[in-house]
Amino acid sequence: MEKTQLQNYHVHYGPAQGWSRVDLRELWRYKDLIWLFVKRDFNVMYKQTVLGPAWILINPLMSTAMYCVMFGTIAQLSTDGVPQILFYLAGTALWGFFSSCINKVSGTFTTNSNIFSKVYFPRLAMPISTVISGLINFLVQFALFFILLLVYLAKGEVSPHWGMLLLCVPLVLQVGLLGLGCGIIVSSLTTRYRDLMVVVTFGVQLWMYGSPVVYPLSMITHPVLRAVMVINPMTAPMESFRYIFFGTGQVTGVMWASSLIWTVALLALGLSLFSKVEKTFVDTV
């Protein structure tokens, strides 16, 4: 009788190798877990607060009021003829989405080390859930902004380009991917260099003042500063957002080319670092 040789098969579960090996189908299979992370973020953020999710609207309104006083009344910065509350609320909402992606994603490994060390799931699910949470906050703030926009539209003080309204979808998506790329780069580096967690918040704040958030791009006339603003990846989204809803803003193909190149490069670098760090971060965190 012939002997049957039994072969042992081993199935190994582990992280993908390199950014090009990101398994989108696997992430889709874990979509329920991603949604649980999103709900967890909201529960943790607003648990034991008096006003709860109302802070999603209170924070941008308070920031907008402060900007109106500091930059509108005291500094008297131009808003290109746009009502101040609309101008600053638009900038606050879009930048708030971007900065929350960086600040919260940057703590992916350090704040979730206990979960990561106990069970396997696509580690990228965690930063993706953070971006989705930020997107939900942005949509709520955008609803408030849109209501105020309609009020000022009835007064004839703004002239939106309604035909370009659908362009907001890829615009916001690009901002989210840019924030995701920056955030996972920082999260990967903070497993070894904790100092970055201290620097990142301050750095994002400086980046805001170096972007046309509280002032229009039309104010920048110095050639060198103008060139820096053009290659800033957040300039094109900010100016495009204002062009769509206010009929103002200076947008060129060079700005968008620069913004998209930066987004792709930072996202690719971030995914590459993330896939390497997730295999060994337990030993360093």
Contacts of 152 (CB under 8 A, 6+ apart): 83, 86, 158
Contacts of 68 (CB under 8 A, 6+ apart): 84, 85, 88
- Please tell me the predicted confidence (pLDDT) of residue 279: 65
Q: How far apart are CA 206 and CA 125, in angstroms?
A: 29
Spell out, as residue ranges, where the chain has pLDDT lower than 50: 1-6, 9, 11-20, 282-283
Write down the pLDDT at residue 8.
Answer: 52
pLDDT at residue 44, as a whole number: 76
In this predicted structure, what is the pLDDT of residue 9? 47
**Domain boundaries of the chain, sorted by first residue:** 20-284
Contact 219, 77 (CB under 8 A): yes
Whole-structure pTM value: 0.86
Q: Are 146 and 124 in contact (CB under 8 A)?
A: no
Give dist(CA 78, CA 94) in Å, integer: 19
Q: Residues with Cβ < 8 Å from 147, sequence gap 6 or more? A: none
Would you say 129 and 34 are in contact if contact means Cβ atoms under 8 Å apart? yes
> 244-264: per-residue pLDDT in tens?
999 888 888 999 999 999 999
pLDDT, residue 2, reads 45
pLDDT of residue 91: 92
What does the angle CA 270 – CA 166 – CA 205 come to, to the nearest 5 degrees? 40
Report whether 235 contacts 255 (CB < 8 A).
yes
Q: Is residue 25 classed exposed, middle or buried when 0-12, 13-18 and 19+ CB atoms within 10 A define those classes?
A: exposed
Q: What is the largest CA-CA distance in the chain?
A: 96
Residue 17 is predicted with a pLDDT of: 47
Instruction: For residue range 69-100, list pLDDT tens digits in order.
Output: 999 889 888 888 899 999 999 999 999 999 99
